[in-house]
Copies of this chain bind each other. A is one copy, B any other.
């Protein structure tokens, strides 16, 4: 596995963000519009053809991305990550903040993330929490750590809409880092998680 990074300046990061974030946001709105569209079959077919034409434009040049490291923060920029990547339209727009061993994100989940009527899919809660606990355990992804185990307790349904998630390191035992976290709506936590994240053997020396 290759963990080579390319260090980029904040200026270059901001340039890429300004270029790609509006594209990702446009794709995201298209996902949401497709989900419940009720237009007639001819319009559906025309939409599909137009989407295929745009896909061909974007496929004309594809780059295998080298993992990027932000020069100022020392943190990897996981641009294509399915939980937080600003180039991945699957990811809810979730920007993780870090402070003093804790990390958190405020974000909104709409109908594309729905499981039971009006509620977030339990597996989407698991995706959000696995990612956030992993960020906490790895000090913002600056240390290679892999999920060993994760357990989630669903106290009640998580309503679609504005949410907050938090995670922090509970304790460290050798190569194992124990992290905890939760998702909450305005009335408090809905899902709680604890996970064990493991430093791979190749990263333990020194």
Contacts and interface: CB of A to CB of B under 8 A. Distances in A.
A22 interface: yes
> Max chain B CB contacts within 10 Å: which of A52, A53, A90, A114?
A90
A171 interface: no
Nearest to A80: B35
A13 interface: no
Given A123-B129, A149-B153, A152-B150, A59 B33 contact: yes
Given A123-B126, A129-B123, A31 B27 contact: yes
A147 B154 contact: yes
Interface in A23-72: 23-24, 26-27, 29-31, 33-39, 41, 43-44, 46-48, 50-55, 57-65, 67
A124 interface: yes
Contacts of A43: 57-58, 60
A69 B89 CA distance: 30
Interface string A157-189: 100000000000000000000000000000000
B82 A121 contact: yes
A123 B121 CA distance: 13
A131 interface: yes
Contact of A30 (B27, B129, B130, B146): B27
A83 interface: yes
Given A36-B65, A130-B126, A157 B146 contact: yes
Given A80-B111, A150-B152, 16 more contacts: A19-B41, A27-B51, A29-B52, A31-B31, A34-B87, A34-B89, A36-B62, A36-B63, A36-B64, A46-B57, A50-B54, A82-B115, A90-B113, A123-B126, A123-B131, A127-B127
Interface of A: 1-3, 19-20, 22-24, 26-27, 29-31, 33-39, 41, 43-44, 46-48, 50-55, 57-65, 67, 80-83, 87-90, 111-119, 121-124, 126-131, 134, 144, 146-154, 157
Chain A to chain B: the 3 pairs with minimum beta-carbon distance, closest first: A123-B127, A123-B130, A126-B126
